[in-house]
Structures are given as C-alpha cells and as structure tokens.
A and B are shown apart, each in its own frame.
Chain A
Amino acid sequence: MSTNLLNTDSLPYCKGCGHDLIAKHTTKALEKLNYKALDVIIVTDIGCHGIIDKCLNTHTVHGLHGRSVALGAGIALGLNHPDKKIIVFIGDGGATIGLQHILEAARLNLNMTVMVHNNMLYGMTGGQTSGLTPYGFRTTTSYDGNPFGGYDLCGLLQSAGSSYACRILGIGDISDKLAVAIGTKGFSLAEVIEICPGFGMKLNPKRKLGEIAESSGRKPGEWINRRDKFEMPVTKKTNNLFERAPLIKKEFTHYLKQKTTILISGSAGEGIQLAATILSKASMRSGLSVTQKGSYPVTVGVGFSAAEVNLSDKHIFFHGITQPDIAIITSEDGLAYAKQRIKQMQNGMLIIDTSLEKPITKAEIVERDFRMVGAKYAALYAILYYALKTGVISTEAVFKTLDQEGLQDKFPLALIKDALVK
C-alpha cells in the first residue's frame, strides 16, 4: 500500500525494526497535517534509517554520518519558507556524532523537525554503544552492559532552546505525537525509543522498551520552550565594499629617489597601525605606490605592534621587507621586536625615541623625544618627523590625510607641530 508520501508499504528494514514504525508514522503525521510530497524535504543520516529515500515521494537528501541536522539546517536557512517542512531522520549514533549540530539548530530555533531513531546502539555498523545507550544496556562493544549512562537528549535540547522536544516509546500509532512535533513552528525533535531486533533484542532478551526507559531515567514526556519562530536576522549591508575605501587623489609632490622600506615598531595600543596607514595614504596623496602590512602578537592589546611600509614611484611587486631602509622605533616593546633587524642594517636611518637604548647599527641614528606628546601619539609624531627630516613627502600631505580621515581632533596636533619645529 502506498500513500501520498510513501511509494511502498514494504520498507527495507529487518522484520520488527522500529525504523519501520517511525517512517510510516512520520509520513502519516505529515499527511494528517496536509503536507504535499514536494513541500517536504526529508534529510537522512547514515544508518539503517538512511536507506528510506527510494521509498519516499518527497524531496530526499542523504548526507553524512552525524551531519544531517546541520545539512537540514542549511536547507531551512536557504528556503526560510513557513509552508515547507524539513524533516531530518537520524539515529542515536548520528545524534551522538552530531550533537553540536542538533544543539545549534535548537539554539537558533530553525524551522525543522528531527526524528531520532533511538534504538540505543549503532545498528548499521554492527550494534556498537552510542552516546544514547542507557546504563546497563548490552551492545556488541559492551557485552556486560554499558558502564555509562546516555545523554538526556530532550533535556539538553530544552536548555539549548528548542521550541519542542518529546520522547516517545516506539509502540503503536505514534502519528499524533509526531504530528505535534512536526506542527511546531521553530525547532522540534521527537526521540523515539525503539529496539533493533538485529542486535539490541538479541543482546538484551526479555527487556521491554518501557522498562528500559523507566530504569534509565529516560521516561517519555515533552520539553517545551515558548519561543518566537525563527526570523532571518536583518543586518545592515553595503552593496559595495569599496564605498568604505575612499579614493585618494594625488595632490602633493614627492621627492623619493628609490624604493624605500620602512619599519615602524612600537607598543600595542599606541597607534602604530594607524600611523602607518596615515603615512601610506599621505604617500599615495603624493603620487607614490605603497604596501602596508601589520605584525603583532596574538594578544593584540599587549606587547609590540609593528608595521612594514614600502614606498615607490613604480608599481611594487614584492612587499616583503628583510632589512628596512628606515626603522622608526617609539617604545621598548618596539625596540625589542625590531632589534635584530636594526643591528643588521648596513645603511639607512634609525629614528628612535630618546628614552630608548640605541642598538649597534650601521644606520644613521636620529633620536627625538617622541613620547613627550603622549605615548599614543608618538608614532604619528615620528612619521611626521620622518617626512620633515627626509623630505620624501611633505608634512602637509600628512596633515591633509588626517583632515580627510576626520582624525584632526584625535591627536594633539598643536603640541606635535610645536615639537616638530623645535
């Protein structure tokens, strides 16, 4: 006998397998709720339940072991349609492997229903213990009985935020109970406790479903959270990322003679990266090509912060810097980071804060009390000083950049200008 959703009455499971009951009553429940075949997407996991596809008239998706809930979640997110029903079939083994995926779908309250075929062991792979195997239940990998208890899946789901979860014994007509789960708006899950005649029944003769559920503290019941149905978050988007990258026009003249590599090194939180960006943009305003990259430890708020800037009047292919031509050092952290490279400099210029020990180097050493304008502003002062000292770009190009970026008020410019001319 076939139905609207099932094309056969003869499902491909061992005689007496609980999966047969779940498949037939899931489709019966869907029909009770008036779902048409092509409004339903059934996603199956790996396991005996997963061979149902060919018997279904619905859309079918057969995925990986444990991952079907996440796959179904992707479909739910893509369709985001209240009249479409995503049902995921998964075993207790798959639910163990992919527990995170189930909790995540419940947390987001995605519009989908998960049917857990809980026969308390991995059936297809040979009757092994799963995370839902109750304490004392015998499996092919725990002949003396599972030494550990199984997860309380429904309890976990409630705390994760699922709209509806229920635990059902897989006996008799369960279609009305499954219909409650399927009819829920938001995330729902039905954990159906059943037995695998192939392994579970043989290894645990005479045990009854009700007794196993009772003795393991996994009684049937419902776990409900009153939640609003899932809404796709609406966030502000740009339809062009370049809108956030302002065009920079050439307005100034540069006096750069050859490609120059600059290392700016100081402390995290002292504006090194911002100063490097200002130098880069001021150089671009002067008609130069630039590259800029930052280096900092994983803890972005402490330790060193360094930036490498290349300036050239030609296209820069390679942006790596081994030995800098110019090293600008504004703090102890910055010096510690750059010391070796400074020592290896054979020429060029070291521009360094007065308070710091001067490393041995063949570079020309120029010192200045950059930190007197405030630790956070020392790097900007230092790049302005570099511009003034070398004349490669004008300080006006730097000030114009600060102006264009709306940064004039972020720095004590009067103090810095004063210090520059002293």
Chain B
Amino acid sequence: MHKKNKDSIVLTDGSCLIIEALARAGADAFIGYPITPANLLYQYGSQRMELMLSAPDEITTLQWMSGLSMTGKLPVTATSFPGFALMTESVNMAYMMELPMVIILVQRLGPATGTATCGAQGDLLLLNGIISGGHPIPVLATSDFEDCWVLAAKSAEIAITLRTPVILLTSKEEVMTHRSFNMKNLSDISPVVRKEYQSAQKYKPYAATNLVPDFIPVGQNKHQVRFNASTHDQAGILQHSTKEAIDNTIRLEEKITKRMQEFQYYILDEQEDANTLLVAYGISASAARSATSQLREKKKKVSLLIPQTMLPVQDIYLTKCLEYQKVIIAEESINNQFGRILFGQSIPDHVTCIGSIAKMITPEQIVEEVYL
C-alpha cells in the first residue's frame, strides 16, 4: 500500500469513498432498496458494481445476497436501522452459513423510523447482541473519509477471510456530507484473493482450517456443497445437538473472537503525562479530533482513542480506559453504548459520557468536559 505524492483535490462524500473502496477490494454485487440516509450508497452501488439489482424489500435483499455469496460473489447492501431490523434473521442465517458479505449500516435517529434525516449513534448495543447465542459479528466504524476508504476495503477482506457477514457502521452525517478531500491520502486497494478448495478429496463444507471452512461455490461440478442455517455437522447436515454439530456452533464464536485479533483497528494518539483520555468513534470522532487539537493548542495535555474495530470489542480499549484518571466517551446517544459494552452496567466513576440526540456533539462540549 503506498500513497501518491501529487495533490488531487476533489469535492466528494463518504458514500462515494466507501463504494469505490469496496469495489476495488473485490465486492462485485450490490443489492439495494431505498432507505434514507443510505440512498447515496445505493446510487453509487448501482453505478459501480458489476451486478446491481433492486430488491423489493429488506429480507429479499439479504436472501439474494446470501444466494449470490454462495456462488462466489461478494455482495454489499446499505441500510439504516428500520431496514436492518428486518434483516436480522437473515443476517443470522448468513452468519450460520458462513457467507461473506458487507452490510453498510448508516445510523439515524430512532426508535423505529425516528427521524430519517437526522444522524445518530444508537445502534451499537443492538449490534452487540444481534446474533442469537450472543456470538460476535465483526463491526468496523468509520471515523473520517480515510476510514471510509480503508475500513470499507478491510470489511471486504474480513468478510472473505473469515467467511462472515461484516457490518460497516457509519451515520447520516458521515455518508451525506461533502468535503474537499485530497485523494493522494488514499492508499492503493487490491482485490481480496479468495482461495477455493482445491483438494480432490471429498469436500466437507464446514470442516475448518484455522477456524474458517474452505470455500467452494455452489453449483460447480467437482464437489457437492451444502449450506445450512440450522444446527449442522461438518458435512452441512442438519442435526439436533450432536457433539460435532455443537462443536461447529462453538467454532463460529471462536472464529470471530480469535481471528478478529488479526483485524484490530484503532487510532491511539497519546500525549505523555496526559491524564485525560478522550474516546470517540464514528461521527463523534470528528468532534473529539477537533477538541484534541484545540486543547493541545492551549497546552492542555490530552490523549485520544478512536476505536475502529468496534466488535468484537478489543482488550486495549478497556486497558487504556483503566490507565487514565479521567476518561470521556463522546457518543451521539443518551446511554453511553460503547461504555456499557466496555464496562457493563457498572461504569467506573472516572469514566463520563458526553451524550446527545438529534444533534452532533460539538468540540466545545468535549473541551468543556475536559476542564470540569
């Protein structure tokens, strides 16, 4: 990965960067349906992806994507909570069947349809429990335009490497705002190489190497392929609760918790002797970055942590939050969802949360909290 030297400044938006990055990383199908504020992603997907189809509803979207994924495609969709809620069972199916795909979740103000054109950060707790059984699903969150590029490509890589659906978490303000952007900051993206099962020996669809089963598309005529959404053994045959089948379900959990250690992304910008740590992800990271810069200009020492791999949650987030005397989490919700994932219901006294609904958290709010 290298960056270019020449300035190439454009006026662009996060949606454009995400779709272009996914396409370069090997995503080749976009299944869309209209939902605000994900419509720009749908529009770009229709212009860029080799195969694009408009689905009639949310469940069809995920089912078509799953079928496409079985044939070796890497499908993408973009949605927001109301649509994502309807996809939940199918996301579980894709997780159980181990189907690579990327779902871009653009957060907006809830509950229910809430306000379609108002940003929010209210879906993290939902994602933390979206798979029945509590198994973790990979979630990456973009915090700026470069993340839209890099993390979109990483989502594709994780989806294929770990054979799993991946959620790229973003929000209305990130994907609908235009910015001047220097494209020389963008690293090259190569298509993710998908290895297919090559052996002449009988293929066992859910026999795993390093926790991930080998892939071979359905419909080819070398090996019989079975996909199964119900509890199944390594052959992909439905079982009630045989040891082999339950071991397979346990492997799903281990696959994500262990192998996601290869995909730990975060930005940690520490200042020596700082005793305050600002923590922010997604849209609130822009306010935290601005606050950090303002505070440092005033010679106030402060460290900044921007989690990018949100789930499964990385140990370092907790370690860092326990190292500092004062931790401020900025999140556009009123219930400190990230803090609750880190600490459960007992959030320590040294950790405070700046929350907000229906409006973005400002750098000034964070600066004020630092001086409190």
Contact = CB atoms under 8 A, between A and B. Distances in A.
Contact of B224 (A57, A277, A280, A298): A57
B117 interface: yes
Interface string A268-301: 0000000001001100100011111111001000
Contacts of A70: 59-60, 63-64, 67
A51 B239 CA distance: 10
B226 interface: yes
B179 A319 contact: yes
Given A60-B236, A63-B63, A293-B177, A284 B73 contact: no
Contacts of B144: 317
A77 B363 contact: no
Chain A binding surface, main DSSP class: mixed
A71 B226 contact: no
Interface string A295-339: 100100000000000000000111110100000000000000000
A61 B11 contact: no
B145 to A, nearest CB: 10
A60 B219 CA distance: 10
Interface string A109-140: 00000000000000000000000000000000
Interface stretch (A176-184, A239-247, A344-352): A239-247
Given A76-B67, A248-B11, A291-B177, A62 B227 contact: yes
Contact-residue bracket for chain A: 35 or more
B224 A78 contact: no
A73 B70 CA distance: 12
Contacts of A61: 70, 218, 226-228
Contacts of A245: 10-12, 16
B218 to A, nearest CB: 5
Interface in A218-249: 232, 235, 237-242, 245-249
Contact of A280 (B69, B116, B117, B180): B180
Contacts of A320: 173, 287, 359-360, 362
B82 to A, nearest CB: 14
Nearest to A37: B224
B197 to A, nearest CB: 14
A272 to B, nearest CB: 14
Interface stretch (B42-50, B133-141, B315-323): B42-50
B117 A295 contact: yes
Nearest to B73: A78
A72 interface: yes
Contact of A77 (B67, B89, B173, B225): B67
Contact of B10 (A63, A248, A291, A316): A248
A289 B67 contact: no
A47 to B, nearest CB: 12
B71 A79 contact: yes
A239 B227 CA distance: 33
B218 A41 contact: yes
Interface in B63-100: 63-73, 89-90, 93
A289 B180 CA distance: 6
B208 interface: no
Contacts of B173: 293, 319-320
Contact of A290 (B11, B56, B66): B11
A73 B176 CA distance: 32
A232 B89 CA distance: 28
A400 interface: no
A36 B219 CA distance: 11
A317 B363 contact: yes
B11 A292 contact: yes
Interface in A8-52: 36-39, 41, 50-51
B180 A284 contact: yes
A305 to B, nearest CB: 13
Contacts of B217: 78
A71 B228 contact: no
Nearest to A68: B63
Contacts of A318: 286-287, 289-290, 360, 362-363
B72 to A, nearest CB: 7
A281 B237 contact: no
B19 interface: yes
Interface in A68-88: 70-79, 81, 84
B178 A74 contact: no
Contacts of B8: 247
A67 B89 CA distance: 10
Nearest to A294: B176
B177 A54 contact: no
A317 B290 contact: yes
Contact of B229 (A38, A51, A63, A242): A63
Contacts of B50: 237
B304 to A, nearest CB: 11
A250 B6 CA distance: 13
Contacts of A188: none
A392 to B, nearest CB: 15
A394 B238 CA distance: 71
A242 B116 contact: no
B250 interface: no
Contacts of B51: 77, 232
Contacts of A71: 63-64, 66-67
Nearest to B174: A319
Interface in B321-339: none
A21 B282 CA distance: 56
9 contacts: A39-B219, A53-B226, A54-B238, A101-B60, A237-B50, A240-B20, A242-B20, A245-B12, A320-B362
What 9 A-B pairs have minimum CB-CB distances, sorted nearest first? A74-B67, A78-B71, A70-B63, A317-B290, A74-B64, A75-B67, A38-B221, A320-B360, A245-B10
Given A60-B226, A67-B63, A78-B68, 19 more contacts: A36-B221, A59-B218, A60-B236, A72-B67, A74-B65, A74-B66, A75-B67, A77-B64, A77-B68, A78-B73, A81-B219, A101-B59, A237-B48, A245-B16, A249-B9, A250-B9, A291-B179, A298-B116, A320-B173
